Structure 1
Amino acid sequence: MSNEEPTAPEERTDEEPSVDEATEAADGTTEDPESADGDLDGRAGRIEELKAELDEREERIDELESRLKRTQADFQNYKKRAKKRQEQLENRATEDLVTRLLDVRDNLVRALDQDEDAAIRDGVDATLREFDRVLDDEAVSEVAPEPGSEVDPQRHEVMLRVESEQPEDSVAEVYTPGYEMAGKVLRPAQVTVSDGTEE
């Protein structure tokens, strides 16, 4: 028989984990299974809340993007309308100016018709040519129907019916020429109309 005395079990130090603690550490949890299930349920509920919140935010983003697109489209339409309005104002201002100047042109034509030997005739003629060039640049053209042509109520103003060799109800003579600008009548031509009685 051995003389050695049995040794006492070594005391555990605070630094060494117990078997239970080691098992818990290996499982990754210090709670009992029921507590872990409750924690998983809580986390699943929180995930659902976050998903719902994310869906809500995505809907809000979609709504804001849609509103932004509508606002951009409205702004583009506004710019187009503003540009069109500006062009209309500019055209109207040009039309008003040209309309006021047409009487000046008529006076120049009358001056040339008065005296063929006047000393200033060449100057008036040159002025009229320059005037017509400017009107042409602005797309202004004269409305002066040929005698015998059909009366156009949109472009001709009938002053009176006269005896004429032209067919009845056709233009007998142009009293005052009219003018149109880019297809729009600024002033109708004043004409006389044949009653068809003169042979």
Structure 2
Amino acid sequence: MEENVNNDGANKELDDGIESDSEAYKEHNDSNGEEDLNAQLEQAMSEIAELKESVQRAQADLINYRRRVEEEKVELQQRANTSIILNLLTVLDDHSRSLQYIPDNMTDVESWVSGLELVYKNLEKILGGFGLSKIESNDKAFNPLEHDALLHQPTSEIEEGKIISVIREGYRLHDRILRPAQVVVSKSEEERNQNSIEGANENPSEEENI
């Protein structure tokens, strides 16, 4: 009887030990499984972030590429128009000169002038559609970026460095100087007198040398 009691106690202790080991093993496996899931989740989130960053870079590159292509297209179009407009400018110059010099012996001069003015305005309108605009020069201060000074005229009536007259009009094509204006620029009378005095001093007369 006593032996059976001892066996029952031993069996119970064995069962308790097995159950305890089983629970510990289960907890260990659950813990490892949770860690594995967390690691996989972190890896997946990292891959998603990298993929999202790659997509954003690709989108930015595509936007920049489209902008560059559009800018190059506009620039190419402007360059193509340059040679055409340069040739047409000679026509514009001829019409401008025709309006300045009207023959005295012509009949119905008024109609002739009106016709020329109409042609001139239409041509200006066409060229303006290509982005051409005239450089305003009369009574403006001389600007070497926009003007080409062919003559300097001494005067006391106009401020020095001002444009007195335009020999040939200058033009812009969009924001670029296509052709500078050829102009006459005012020069002070004092500077001319000073230059004359200096020239006389450098070249004395023969009588003075004697």
Taking only the aligned residue pairs, the percentage that are identical comes to 25
Distance 2:102 2:185 in 1: 28
SS in 2 for 1:185: strand
The verdict on how the C-alpha distance between 1:145 and 1:36 changes in structure 2, with shifts beyond 3 A counting, is: closer
Higher mean Cα deviation, 185-194 or 110-119? Answer: 110-119
Task: State the structure with more CA Rg.
Answer: 1
The verdict on how the C-alpha distance between 1:194 and 1:54 changes in structure 2, with shifts beyond 3 A counting, is: closer
Q: Paired residue for 1:65, among 42, 52, 75? A: 52
Q: How big is each residue's C-alpha offset from its partner over 1:141-197, in whole Å with a ceiling of 9 and x where there is no partner? A: 3235225x4212222110122355653443232111111244542211101223344
Q: Who is 1:159 aligned against?
A: 150
What TM-score results when the alignment is normalised by the length of structure 2?
0.63
Distance 2:161 2:42 in 1: 79
Is residue 164–residue 172 contact of structure 1 (8 Å, CA) maintained in 2? no
Higher mean Cα deviation, 153-162 or 104-113? Answer: 104-113
- Aligned-residue RMSD, C-alpha: 3.1
SS in 1 for 2:143: coil
- Is residue 2:163 matched to residue 1:176? no
Q: How big is each residue's C-alpha offset from its partner over 1:30-89, in whole Å with a ceiling of 9 and x where there is no partner? A: xx4234532442343233223212211111111211221222122222222322232232
Q: State the one-letter code of the partner of 2:170.
A: G
The verdict on how the C-alpha distance between 1:48 and 1:187 changes in structure 2, with shifts beyond 3 A counting, is: same
Taking the TM superposition and a 5 Å limit, the aligned residue runs for 1:90-129 are 90-116=77-103, 117=106, 121=112, 124-129=116-121
SS in 2 for 1:153: coil
Is residue 166–residue 194 contact of structure 1 (8 Å, CA) maintained in 2? no
The verdict on how the C-alpha distance between 1:53 and 1:144 changes in structure 2, with shifts beyond 3 A counting, is: closer
- Is residue 2:138 matched to residue 1:146? yes
Higher mean Cα deviation, 156-165 or 52-61? Answer: 156-165
Q: Report the alpha carbon displacement of residue 96 of structure 1 after superposing the two structures with TM.
A: 4.1
Q: Report the alpha carbon displacement of residue 115 of structure 1 after superposing the two structures with TM.
A: 4.1
- Structure 2 residue runs of 5 or longer lacking an equivalent are 1-17, 193-210
Is residue 112–residue 121 contact of structure 1 (8 Å, CA) maintained in 2? no
Distance 1:58 1:183 in 2: 51
Q: Report the alpha carbon displacement of residue 106 of structure 1 after superposing the two structures with TM.
A: 0.4
Q: State the one-letter code of the partner of 2:34.
A: I
The verdict on how the C-alpha distance between 1:58 and 1:183 changes in structure 2, with shifts beyond 3 A counting, is: closer
Q: Who is 2:76 aligned against?
A: 89
The verdict on how the C-alpha distance between 1:151 and 1:174 changes in structure 2, with shifts beyond 3 A counting, is: same
Higher helix share: 2
The verdict on how the C-alpha distance between 1:108 and 1:37 changes in structure 2, with shifts beyond 3 A counting, is: same
Distance 1:99 1:57 in 2: 63
